[in-house]
Homo-oligomer: A and B are copies of this chain.
């Protein structure tokens, strides 16, 4: 007897800084189940050659779906966890591999202009519409992952343009973590970690421009970066 395999999908939680808040990008479902509801960008993993394309992994499936549905490739993409169970999708037992995607505001703003996504605050005050499937929970879990990693890594820099001021970076951490950081302490910890590279770019007001920095690598770990204050 041949048993039916569970449904395997990927869903991507795109987080971005917009209007001074951390926001998630949502699409609108056009088909049942949940037609008309807000939904994370996502879709089926293609493993069957008859689909015309076989994904190399769930990560490749996430990148393919973002490209197909939004024409968008995030600067940072990481797997968060896999949600699963018999009830989360009315079509059958399903598992969804959830990804966190981070990108500078400009590209996400372009998606809003094009009407492809709408943004909804997740922090500090969540303002989410009713979502399809268990997507509210997937967003909360991805947000918790970002906040946990923000405490000891440079992950938050992926929410900024490639070159940024240290003050921009500190403010981004404050928005993500909900803390107020000491300017001198943040600067000292961040520079001591050797995770940033100073550039020739000067950013800001005429007469008082600040140094522009970029990330040295994709992710650096820094102990005690965030004060928790």
Partner of A5, one of B7, B55, B86, B223: B7
Number of chain A interface residues as a range: 20 to 34
Q: Which residues of B contact A5 (CB under 8 A)?
A: 4-8, 47-48
CB distance from A36 to the nearest CB of B (A): 25
Q: Which residues of B contact A7 (CB under 8 A)?
A: 5
Q: Which residues of B contact A54 (CB under 8 A)?
A: 86, 93
Query: Is the C-beta of A97 less than 8 angstroms from some C-beta in chain B?
Result: yes
| Distance A95 CA – B82 CA, assembled complex (angstroms) | 11
CB distance from A64 to the nearest CB of B (A): 13
Query: Is the C-beta of A57 less than 8 angstroms from some C-beta in chain B?
Result: yes
For A56, the closest partner residue in chain B by CB is B85
Q: Which residues of B contact A224 (CB under 8 A)?
A: 223-224
Query: Is the C-beta of A51 less than 8 angstroms from some C-beta in chain B?
Result: yes
Query: Is the C-beta of A1 less than 8 angstroms from some C-beta in chain B?
Result: yes
How many copies of the polypeptide does the oligomer hold? 2
Q: Which residues of B contact A93 (CB under 8 A)?
A: 45, 47-48, 54-55
Q: Are A84 and B45 interface neighbours, CB within 8 A? A: yes
Given A47-B93, A84-B57, A95-B45, the answer on whether A6 and B3 have CB atoms closer than 8 Å is no
Interface of A is mostly: loop
| Distance A48 CA – B97 CA, assembled complex (angstroms) | 19
Q: Are B84 and A3 interface neighbours, CB within 8 A? A: no
Q: Are A47 and B97 interface neighbours, CB within 8 A? A: no
Given A54-B86, A58-B84, A95-B97, the answer on whether A47 and B223 have CB atoms closer than 8 Å is no
Q: Are A4 and B85 interface neighbours, CB within 8 A? A: no
CB distance from A59 to the nearest CB of B (A): 8
Query: Is the C-beta of A188 less than 8 angstroms from some C-beta in chain B?
Result: no
Q: From residue 38 to 74 of chain A, which have CB atoms closer than 8 A to chain B?
A: 44-48, 50-51, 54-58
Given A8-B6, A47-B92, the answer on whether A97 and B82 have CB atoms closer than 8 Å is yes
Interface residues of A (CB under 8 A from B): 1, 3-8, 44-48, 50-51, 54-58, 79, 81-82, 84-86, 92-95, 97, 152, 223-224
Q: A6-B47, A8-B8, A47-B86 are in contact. List 15 more A-B contacts (CB 8 A).
A: A3-B44, A3-B46, A4-B47, A4-B48, A5-B5, A8-B95, A47-B94, A48-B93, A54-B86, A54-B93, A58-B95, A79-B82, A82-B97, A223-B223, A224-B224
